[in-house]
Amino acid sequence: MRPISLAPHLNNTGLTGTAGLDGGGFNIWGNSFPAGELPPAGGTTAVGEVPFLFPVAGADNVRCRGQRVEVPPGRWDWVHVLGAAERRTEDLLEVHHSDGSVRGQWLRLSDFWPQTEPRFGEVLAFRCRHLHYPRHVQRTMSPSIWAQRVPLTVPSDVVALVLPDNPALHVFALTLQAAE
Amino acid sequence: MKISLPGVSHWRHDLGHCLHATAGVLLGFYGADPLDLLGAAWGFDYRGGDVRREEYYFPCWQGSLFASLAPYHDVASAWHTPSSPEQGWDEVRARLLTGTPVAVAADNYFLPFRPAYQDVHTNHLLVVYGFDDARGTVSVCDPVPPRFRGEIPIEALTAARDSANPVRHSRDMFFTANPIGNRWLDVTVTGCTGPASRERLREIMAANLTGFEGVADGASDHRGLPGLQRFLRQAAARLTDGDASVVDEVFVVAGVALAVTGLHGDYLAAAARRLGEPALLKLAREVDRIAHHWSAVRIIVATGRDDPATAGRALAGRTTALLADQLATVDRMAAVAGSI
């Protein structure tokens, strides 16, 4: 398993503390996840058996706009994704290989919105007890972050992943898994 | 006096909003499966400039709001516009006394159970199903998260219904600056026929396909596939030219398209399981994929106010993909409708 740093691509603030509620804006309404209910920023956290590099507070997730994420070249089998969407959505993740070929694989993420079930068979990674609004903490809303995985089907070195140009998709962390 | 009507329970589709949730509650009261009624129609029909700043906006081509939501069923609705808050409550109370729940427009800012309470103004819709004069309360049902069903002070509902719905700050987006006006909605359901038979489903699919031909599509009407293409292409071009004024209109219209498409996908999936038709199930998944394009469209435009040119280019690319999938799905729908 190889957690990938998304630091160069983080462009959205989805986690806030109670002292900085108005600094968040995971969705277009300025809502954010309570950082205090999630794993420590900057550390590695496991969801099931998959280790994810959990983002530091601040710009902490990637709102997908076609960013190219370089990965350590290798014959990876799975891309594990920690993320959520603003209303469920799906799009092609471009998988770039060392031979210059490009293949698309579906990246599907369910809604982060409270009381909304996963649509694409994801594992619930985190469900917070509160939802942050710019001027208050809502104690009756429980937003979700999902763990999804994308298969890499061709036995050829992968060198980069290009995220979809779909800003409804948010990615907090990526981890690559090699063949056994 | 007090009354609490039985048979009022939550219903919500995850891609819908307060309109479909409210409609689901009211249709459920009449014994209907909301998905059967709200999911049958699939199309794109929008008259340019028709959009209104309310969460429950829906293009009403079939006359009333509910007739437009469920055009293949015998349902209808009528808006009432009382001249005062007192008259507004008297009318709703009188309707409840006949044993009929109603929908009321309300500003979330004044509703204690809404996250927007004392924070954000917005033009919302929910069901009223009872009252207790002695306690000074009304019973409301709102399936939109955090989901509420119970009593609130009548003063709160009155304030919400009589709100000017003003714009106060940056989060008062899309659904503000449209006074609520104590409006309430009366719904009539004259016969629920149950899930569509195979023959009825074929008729519904054929009617939807005819709608996609967009026969009446014109300069300001956006109907069917020609209208959909023109609406999205024009919006992308305006954004690319730096015109952010298109954001509100496209966001609200995309919300309707998202809900209608998502509901229809689930409607077809339910029919597929009921009738044992795998081809219908595959078609349902393709419709779902188009809904997921609409999720992207909403956020592309909503985040495009500060940089409309970039949003315009993203919307142009999304439009190409959406239209290609839409065309393929409509073609497949024609084939499936002829084979089931």
Residues of chain A neighbouring B175 (CB-CB closer than 8 A): none
Residues in chain A where the model's pLDDT stays below 50: none
Best CA proximity match to B153, nearest among B94, B84, B89: B89
CATH code (residue A86): 2.60.120
How many folded domains does chain A comprise? 1
- The whole-number pLDDT of residue B167 equals 64
- The whole-number pLDDT of residue B172 equals 57
CA distance B211 to B72: 13
Would you call B302 an interface residue with chain A, using a CB distance cutoff of 8 Å? yes
Query: Residue B182 class from Cβ within 10 Å (0-12 exposed, 13-18 middle, 19+ buried)?
Result: buried
Please give the distance of CA B293 from its chain centroid, rounded to a whole number. 17
Cβ contact A35:A41 at 8 Å: yes
Residues of chain B neighbouring A85 (CB-CB closer than 8 A): 295
- For residue A46, give Cα distances in angstroms to A39, A80, A84, B277: 9, 11, 17, 41
- The whole-number pLDDT of residue B33 equals 95
- The whole-number pLDDT of residue B61 equals 82
**Cβ-based neighbour number of residue A16 at 10 Å:** 27
* ipTM above 0.95 for this complex: yes
Determine the Cα angle at A53 with ends A50 and A6, to 5°: 120
Q: What is the pLDDT along chain B (340 residues), one digit of tens a residue?
A: 999 999 999 999 999 999 999 999 999 999 999 999 999 999 999 988 877 778 889 998 878 999 999 999 999 999 999 999 999 999 999 999 999 999 999 999 999 999 989 988 889 999 999 999 999 999 999 999 999 999 999 999 999 999 988 666 665 567 676 788 999 999 999 976 789 999 999 999 999 999 999 876 677 789 999 999 999 999 999 999 999 889 999 999 999 999 999 999 999 999 999 999 999 999 999 999 999 999 999 999 999 998 999 999 999 999 999 999 999 999 999 999 999 9
DSSP string for chain A: -EEE--GGG--B--EE-GGGGGG--SSTT--BEEGGGSPPTTSEEEETTEEEEPPPSSS-BEE-SS-EEEEEEE-EEEEEEEEEESS-EEEEEEEEETTS-EEEEEEEE-B-STT---SS--EEEEE-S-EEETTEEETT---EEEEEEEE--SSS-EEEEE--S-TTEEEEEEEEEE--
Best CA proximity match to B29, nearest among B14, B11, B56, B15: B11
- The whole-number pLDDT of residue B244 equals 85
Would you call A115 an interface residue with chain B, using a CB distance cutoff of 8 Å? yes
Specify the residue for token string 């239209």: B323
Q: Tell me: the pLDDT tens digits for A136-167?
A: 999 999 999 999 999 999 989 999 999 999 99
Would you call B147 an interface residue with chain A, using a CB distance cutoff of 8 Å? yes
What's the DSSP call for residue B71? T
Determine the Cα angle at A81 with ends A79 and A85, to 5°: 140
Cβ–Cβ below 8 Å for B296 and A166: yes
Best CA proximity match to A108, nearest among A138, A64, A68: A64
Cβ contact B19:B125 at 8 Å: yes
Specify the residue for token string 């069901």: B127
- The whole-number pLDDT of residue B263 equals 98
- For residue A28, give Cα distances in angstroms to A14, A134, A180, B136, B139: 11, 12, 41, 37, 31
- The whole-number pLDDT of residue B100 equals 97
Distance from CA of A10 to the nearest CA of B (A): 16
Residues of chain A neighbouring B257 (CB-CB closer than 8 A): none
Cβ contact A147:A45 at 8 Å: no
Residues of chain A neighbouring B289 (CB-CB closer than 8 A): 90
Cβ–Cβ below 8 Å for A167 and B289: no
Among B residues 6-35, those touching chain A with beta carbons less than 8 Å apart: 14-15
- The whole-number pLDDT of residue B169 equals 67
**Which residue range(s) make up the domain with A77?**
2-178
Best CA proximity match to B35, nearest among B45, B21, B56, B46: B21
CA distance B144 to A117: 14
pTM > 0.90 = yes
Q: Tell me: the pLDDT tens digits for A56-68?
A: 878 999 999 999 9
**Which candidate from B113, B119, B295 shows the least CB-CB separation from A89?**
B295
Cβ–Cβ below 8 Å for A167 and B292: no
Cβ–Cβ below 8 Å for B317 and A131: no
Cβ–Cβ below 8 Å for A88 and B119: no
CA distance B264 to B196: 13
For residue B223 the two structure tokens come to 């109907």
Among B residues 34-93, those touching chain A with beta carbons less than 8 Å apart: none
Q: Which residues pair with B126 in a beta bridge?
A: B104
Phi then psi dihedrals of residue B215, to 5 deg: -55, -40
The beta strand positions in B2-42, using DSSP E, are 2-4
For residue B270 the two structure tokens come to 């339910």
**Which candidate from A85, A114, A119 shows the least CB-CB separation from B146?**
A114
